[in-house]
Structure 1
Amino acid sequence: MVVGGMIGSGIFVLPAQLAPYGWTSIAAWIVGIGGAMLIAWVLARLTAAMPDATGVVAMSAHGLGPLCGVLVGWSYWIGIWSANAIIALTAVRYLAQFSPMIGATTLAQALSATVLIWLMTLLNLGGARLAGAFQIGTTVLKLVPLGAIVLILAGIVWQGGAGRPIAQHPAFAWHGLTPALTFAFYALVGFEAASVAAERVRDPTRTIVRAMLVGLVLTGTLYLVVCTGIIFALPTAAVANAQAPFALFVSTYWGAGAGLATAGFAAVAAIGALNGWTLVQGEVPLGMARAGLLPRWIGRTNARDVPVAILLVSSTLASLLILSNATRSLGGLLDFMLRLTSAATIWLYVGACLTALVMRVAPIAAALGLAFAAWAMVGAGFEAIGLSLALMLPALPFYFLRNRLT
């Protein structure tokens, strides 16, 4: 669950976002993995202290009060549908390797990503069984591009760098560490997945700790190797300007055909991730509504047990987020989405660390984890932080008027 929750679409675009940071990107991965392990330890200890809780939102509600739980859950929901915007854009960038027209301009990318979001929404309106069947067919495929990169990198090392393009990369710079950390941390989000299933796990006190820490180290190391390998095996400008960095890397070493095949696998992987998170974007507010924390209409489902209203609202917001930023540059569009999603999601970890401090669970790790979360938040920039807070505010009237807004 930990590895599956972490490996999504972020890694398929991050080489382009991190390439301008050069050697600083390596430090960002190392610091990001270390900080994520701190927060994972806090979550594991909270899970042991509250084994009946159904996730971080429930833990925050228990430790900080229902209103804080709603704000944390609402922010996490924002992070989900804004992540769906990123995933859709990622899929479009790789599909554009087959049909350049859909990725020729920022507007074309935005429109194509919006169409993809609504195709996955229609699929999920058919029920969890249909969406789940689609998910099964795409899950394993996301590992194929990662495996291809590892094989090429192993070949480069084996040959002592023969055939590797000669390129200079930016030196380490302290001022670049904070923004680079925010990008790297986005790809690590998802390690909290194991805590959600605590009530179904035998000996959760030990099992959840091991699952989170081992899964985080394995996935983080894979990301470090893959992302850094792509960045340092090609010229910085080529990676930074690449719409599909994985396809560019594979085509450079294995030819255009292999590059297109990699693009196809990456696109399918991203579409599969979009399908899965489209399902989740309805389930998070549904759970809060059924717990009495949000209006009952949010929890209403159709005959297939699909929360139609909130699913449509979520996809509408994701679409508006993409379209409202379509005037940005091609790179700027994805850059802003990544920073907003990181900011919105980090509030979940802030809530977890504050809960641990209040309940005196792993207080030292919680304090350090809170400091790390604040550091990663700063890297998102004031625009993304401000928008994440503004999007959180609508939760207040929904919470206080939940018994009237039926």
Structure 2
Amino acid sequence: MTPPELARRLRTRDAVVIGLAAMIGAGVFTVFAPAAEAAGSGLLLGLAIAAFVAFANASSTAQLAARYPESGGAYRYGRERLGAWPGFLAGWGFVVGKTASCAAMAMTFAAYLVPSEWQRALAAAAVIVLAGVNLRGITRTARAAAIIVGFVVLVLLLVVSAGAGSVLQRGIPLDGLLDSGWPGILQAAGLIFFAFAGYARIATLGEEVRDPARTIPRAISIAFVVALLLYALVALVLLAALGAPALAASTAPLVDLVEASGWPAAAPLVRVAASAAALGALLALIAGIGRTALAMARDGELPHRLASVHPRTRVPHVAEIVVAVVIVALVLTVDLREAIGFSSFGVLGYYLVANLAALTQPAVERRVPRALSAAGAIGCLVLVVALPPPSIVAGLAVFAVGVGWRLITMARRRR
């Protein structure tokens, strides 16, 4: 008997909010401080570079998703266009790296709400609850994401309103754009890039989207534009209100912004929104990891049991349960908030494979110029090189483990 497949239940609006939940995660509340530390006011150039690379990647991803409307995202595209090894490496980097990111998001959520002694327990509880939401069906995931995204966007607009006066008084902060040099600007771009990377969640859900050839490219484009506008506005008001040195030293820059702007009553709301944003990213990530694990298990790259699909809810329930168990274990035993550099490495590797796959598509399948996909691939490589050395070493180590896993699996099959 053929096992049940995932059901096409997501509309364009649903896909957009899932992508936005991943893109407007806790990163927007924290990423601009380390970006300012790396580049000062040059973080605005870093934002522009990150946005261009993300746009190129999103364009390639949308083009591929229209041709391969299946679960797995860049894993599937790499496997179909480039071969089993590139596809596996993209999928492995995503599953392992983003599982660590989930643990970090869960701990970030808890850190905003409770004292340190309660954080692990609350983070684990959050993972269990969100996994339960995902297990009830993809439409429940989309509804929960819509509520979270709506709240977070409203709070971000409140923050922008609080800082607008500083922009009007002092103008756009363009002084010292190049003071930190291009290495600092590129490092800032690498940090900010990951705030855009959530549109991949839309692609990983390709098997659950109605009319995927039309819906996925539209959803990716809408989510990208909304996120870019929000990030640009937030970056401008942060620099205008706080200045690059104070922004670089801040541990909660958006909270500092509303307090410096004379809106201290909004600070608790901003903290709650940061916590909610972490939940939104976690919700979307669990769904994306589960679908990628499903696709890899179908091809024998991961244990076949992970390919199970629930006959009623039509979700990869075994994969999502396993992912949740691993995340909870990480949350309870390891603090990954400061040790997930390999996730950054893995995301860039993931999109490198997507861009290279898009380059191989024939003219009849192309929606964007081949040069844009080439620029995306080059951009991924440049940002990888710009990452801090510990992140590169950790990323190479994770991929080495993946290569070892696949070689052992292949040897067992030959026996």
Q: TM-score range by the shorter chain?
A: 0.7 to 0.9
Name whichever of 364-373 and 238-247 sits farther off. Answer: 238-247
Q: Deviations over 1:231-283 (max 9, x none)?
A: 33114443333322211211222443221222122222323432442344344
Aligned to 2:8: none
TM-fit CA distance, 1:45:
2.6
- Mapped to 2, the partners of 1:277 and 1:197 lie a distance apart of 11
1:204 equivalenced with 2:222 (yes/no) = no
Counterpart contact for 1:285–1:298, Cα < 8 Å: yes
Q: Deviations over 1:273-329 (max 9, x none)?
A: 324423443443233213332222444689993433343234434665526xxxxxx
Tell me the amino acid that sits aligned with residue 244 of structure 1.
Answer: A
Matched, 1:83 2:101: yes
Residue 13 (structure 2) aligns with? none
Q: Which residue identity does 1:357 align to in structure 2?
A: L
Q: Distance in 1 between matches of 2:107 and 2:179?
A: 30
- The answer on 1:121 being equivalent to 2:127 is yes
Paired-residue identity, %: 24
Question: C-alpha displacement at 1:12, in angstroms?
Answer: 0.8
Cα deviation 1:340-399 (Å, max 9, x = unaligned): 322111111111122223445653222221110001111222321221221123334543
Secondary structure of 1:192's counterpart equals: helix
The residue identity in structure 2 corresponding to 1:354 is: L
Following superposition of structure 1 onto structure 2, how do residues 177-326 of structure 1 map, counting pairs within 5 Å? 177-196=185-204, 200-202=209-211, 204=213, 208-299=216-307, 305-307=317-319, 308-317=321-330, 322=335
Aligned to 1:347: 349
**Cα separation, partners in 2 of 1:318 and 1:395, compared to 1, 3 Å:** farther
- Count of residue correspondences: 378
Please name the residue that 1:145 is paired with.
155
* 2:64 partner SS: helix
Equivalents in 2 of 1:355, 1:313: separation in Å? 30
Contact kept, 8 Å, 1:84 with 1:117, in 2: the verdict is no
Give the drift of 1:15. Answer: 2.3
**For 1:401 and 1:39, how far apart are their aligned partners in 2?**
32
Kindly indicate whether residue 378 of structure 2 is the aligned counterpart of residue 371 of structure 1: yes
**Contact 2:346–2:395, Cα closer than 8 Å, also in 1:** yes
Aligned 1:31-180 pairs, distance under 5 A: 31-51=49-69, 55-95=73-113, 101-102=115-116, 112=119, 114-124=120-130, 126=132, 128-129=135-136, 132=141, 135=145, 137-158=147-168, 160-161=169-170, 171=179, 173-180=181-188
User: Who is 2:7 aligned against?
Assistant: none
| Pair 1:401–1:310, CA change in 2 (3 A) | farther
The runs of 5 or more residues in structure 1 that have no matched partner are 103-107, 324-332
1:181-225 superposed Cα distances (whole Å, 9 cap, x missing partner): 1111011112234444556454826x6445434532332122022
Label 1:7 to 1:218 Cα distance change in 2 as closer, same or farther (>3 A): same
SS in 2 for 1:293: coil
Q: Which runs of 4+ in 1 moved over 6 A?
A: 167-170, 301-304
Distance 1:192 1:91 in 2: 22
The answer to whether the 8 Å contact 1:15/1:231 transfers is no
Q: State the partner residue of 1:8.
A: 25
1:17 partner SS = helix
Matched position secondary structure for 1:243 = coil
- Residues 72/320 of structure 1: CA separation in 2 closer, same or farther (3 Å cut): farther
Q: TM-score by structure 1 length?
A: 0.79
Whether 1:18 aligns to 2:35 is yes
Query: Contact conserved, 2:58 with 2:220, CA < 8 A, in 1?
Result: yes
Unaligned runs of 5+ in 2: 1-15
Question: Distance between the aligned counterparts of 1:69 and 1:233, measured in 2?
Answer: 45
**Residue deviations 1:21-79, cap 9 Å, x none?**
22210000011111111222222332344456752211111112223212211101123
The answer on whether the counterparts of 1:179 and 1:379 sit within 8 Å (CA) in structure 2 is: yes
Q: Distance in 2 between matches of 1:393 and 1:319?
A: 26
